Amino acid sequence: AKEEGRGRFRFFEQEMDARAQARRALELDLRRAFALRQFEVFYQAQMSLQDRRIVGFEALARWRHPQRGMVSPADFIPVAEEIGLISQIGEWVLLTACREAARWPGSHRIAVNLSPIQFSNPGLVETVSAALATSGLAPERLELEITESVLLDNTAATLAILHRLRTLGVRIAMDDFGTGYSSLGYLRSFPFDKVKIDQSFIRDMPTDGDSAAIVKAIIGLGVSLGISTTAEGVETEEQLNRLRAEGCTDIQGYLLSKPVPAAEVAAVLNRIPT
Ligand code: C2E
Ligand code: CA
Ligand code: CA
Ligand code: CA
């Protein structure tokens, strides 16, 4: 039994080694990805429930790895945050999204995700301001999505940055609402333009009464506070109809469109009336 235990430990060690190596390889590839132009921005449509028109798109980072294929941002964003690359990637996504959106027909909004780490970068406001100036995008077309974790520490400094961003004329959305802590207090401390209802609630809404109640409460809160609500991860007409009945402002999800490359945005706009 002792032998067996040692064997298992060796196996465990090798497994850890293999994982650490894969992780180091990923880090190395990520550092080179920029120079090799492997990043892309995809766009996912957002539709108003009032008139079923497309009101904007969310920019979502993609990494086309030559061997691994498309690497999910859920896998590489956390690594980029850990190794200090997220600000560079985030800046590139922001500028690319602003430039591409400035060329779209119409004045749809473009939503860009900001990592909490970008808030500790003293140049964030200048970066956003420069992206607007370089691209020529009207500030009111840009929406910055932040998660509640941004407000967890250093709240005063973060609020100051949010106010400076707002002064540029951009909109601020709270992402993944309902999954973090003390969400309600944050809505009082900063006048968000929008809350995005996390897709886990939307997914469970048809089968789980608690999720349905939370969705209803968030939409009601939005109505009372004058904050628009976007439901994420809408996949069925049933979800759409319930969200519209509850008074949700906009939806985003596979029902409308998956995230598409820039070249396909026009086709999405043609397929869905705008
Ligand atoms: P997120 O900001 O919550 O983005 C929504 C995610 O849900 C996207 O995943 C999108 O493709 C996916 N999604 C949209 N509709 C549906 C649906 O109907 N069903 C399902 N099952 N999923 C749907 P994606 O593109 O893989 O991005 C994952 C996360 O990575 C994002 O979550 C965001 O937190 C992060 N991310 C992506 N791009 C960036 C970026 O440029 N900067 C930063 N900081 N984070 C990013
Ligand atoms: Ca988002
Ligand atoms: Ca989200
Ligand atoms: Ca999410």
- Residue of 183 and 151 predicted with greater confidence: 151
Give the residue, by CA position, lying nearest to ligand 1 atom 43: 113
- Answering whether pTM is above 0.90, one says yes
CA 122 to centroid of ligand 4, rounded, Å: 25
What rounded mean pLDDT belongs to the chain? 92
- The set of protein residues with a Cβ atom below 6 angstroms from ligand 1 is 44, 60-61, 72-74, 77, 90, 93, 113, 115, 175-176, 199, 232-235, 253-254, 259
- Residue of 16 and 22 predicted with greater confidence: 22
The residues, ordered by sequence, that sit 6+ positions from 53 with a Cβ below 8 Å of its Cβ are: 47, 272, 273, 274
* Strands 39-48 and 250-252, bridge-based pairing: antiparallel
26-69 tens-digit pLDDT: 999 999 998 899 999 999 999 999 999 999 999 999 999 999 99
202-246 tens-digit pLDDT: 999 999 999 999 999 999 999 999 999 999 999 999 999 999 999
